[in-house]
Structure 1
Amino acid sequence: MKHKSIIESLLFAAGDEGLTAEQIAEVIDLPVQEVKDILQSMEEALKQDEARGTVITSFGNEYRMMTKKENAAFIQKLAEKPSPKTLSQAALETLAIIAYNQPVTRIEVEEIRGVKTERPIATLCARGLIEEAGRADAPGRPILYATTAEFLDAFQLKSIKDLPPLEESNGSMQQEADLFFGRFEEALED
């Protein structure tokens, strides 16, 4: 059934936040009770299917996609395994923007990049290359991000002032940043 596929995708995309039956019903344009019935059917089917690694659970009025308890040891093993050192192009671009404009909010980074940056920022925080550096004096008090001492160590910089200058006038700013962060990526791979 197509609705099951859509609901599964929605729950996966929602992650830990989960979704209510009402939210799902609004997105897929079905009556709430029909969505609840589909969710109940999916919940039972996933629990019974030994080939599947996920289940649907409900907490209060929210539904979430979660991994099966019997797979917890494997998930823990993966979480403890060191992640690859390379950074995606999106993470490198985000890091360059933060390094040269710090402290900067996520929204400011997105304005410069032109795309969403939640994942690259989360990756950079997890790697210890950036950190929260306070709150901006703006509506909603958005988080400010700045580079860390680990960032300076990785780039072998004494201070942020040692970053290579970016000259906007001759159009080489992006090339210089790409070259600098390309060297950083190579250093991480070694």
Structure 2
Amino acid sequence: MNKEEQLGILESLLFAAGDEGLSTKQLTEVMEVTYIEALNLLETLSERYEESPASGLVLLELAGAFQLATKKDYAPYLKKLVEAPHATSLSQASLETLAIIAYKQPITRMEVDEVRGVQTDGPIRTLVARGLVADKGRAEGAGRAKLYITTNEFLDAFGLKSLEDLPKLAEQSEDTGQDELDLFFDRFSQKEEKE
């Protein structure tokens, strides 16, 4: 495998790792490279981002982990994106992630990943940006992962007075045979269509 392929793999891994980033140890294990090779690849990728005026990304090292981040120069545009009213509906991945958080809160991202069977970093960022989910402290134990809960905006968006109003998961709708979770998604989709 040549260096360009390795850089592509590195970039993909950093993107997939999201806010948690990756340590050099993780990179050496996943990419099957030496520590020095991993450092050289990280340095090369970092230099490419810094030297390219067309790139909106930078490579950061925080608390021993490397992660991709956006350049500070573009912060005003990112702020507009987060603050702008969202005309688009939530993706299926975001809805599934939101339902898991709603029913199992407080919950860590890794626990949500286990339930969904895929990474949920992107959907959680979307939900936080929309104010439907918030960080509620840290879990006990190794790593002290962030705990996520739903917000009052979540309750408003779904027309709920409290979390006790969430549909019960074990029940089935006799009329349609739909699972209550499907009804939960349908309810949100219909509300968005009206707006």
Alignment TM class, shorter chain as reference: 0.5 to 0.7
Unaligned runs of 5+ in 1: none
Amino acid at match of 2:17: A
2:188 paired residue among 172, 184, 187: 184
For these two proteins, the number of residue pairs brought into alignment is: 186
1:58 is aligned, of 56, 61, 65, to 61
> 1-side partners of 2:131 and 2:15: how far apart?
27
- For residues 58-97 of structure 1, the C-alpha deviation after alignment (integer angstroms, 9 at most, x for no partner) is 3464333222232222222222223345222244445556
Where do 5+ consecutive residues of structure 2 fail to align? none
Find the aligned partners of 1:163 and 1:97 in 2 and give their Cα distance.
Answer: 12
What per-residue deviation string (whole Å, max 9, x for no partner) do you get for residues 136-172 of structure 1? Answer: 9xx99x9998766555544445566666777449681
Which of 38, 50, 65 is equivalent to 1:47? 50
TM-score w.r.t. length of structure 2: 0.64
Contact conserved, 1:94 with 1:117, CA < 8 A, in 2? Answer: no
- The corresponding residue for 1:115 is 117
Q: Secondary structure at the match of 2:61?
A: strand
Cα RMSD (Å):
4.2
Using the alignment, how far apart are the partners of 1:109 and 1:60 within structure 2?
A: 24
Q: Secondary structure at the match of 2:36?
A: helix
- The 1:132/1:33 distance shift into structure 2, 3 A limit, reads closer
Q: Which amino acid aligns with 1:54?
A: L
Matched with 1:35 is: 38
Deviations 1:98-136 (A, max 9, x none): 66x56685788778x653584556655654556789999
Between the aligned residues of both structures, percent identity stands at 45
Bigger Rg over Cα = 1
Q: Is the 8 A contact 1:25 1:32 kept in 2?
A: yes
| Distance change >3 Å, CA 11–CA 117, structure 1 → 2 | closer
Matched, 1:21 2:24: yes
In structure 1, the residue matched to 2:5 is 2
Matched letter for residue 72 of structure 2: K
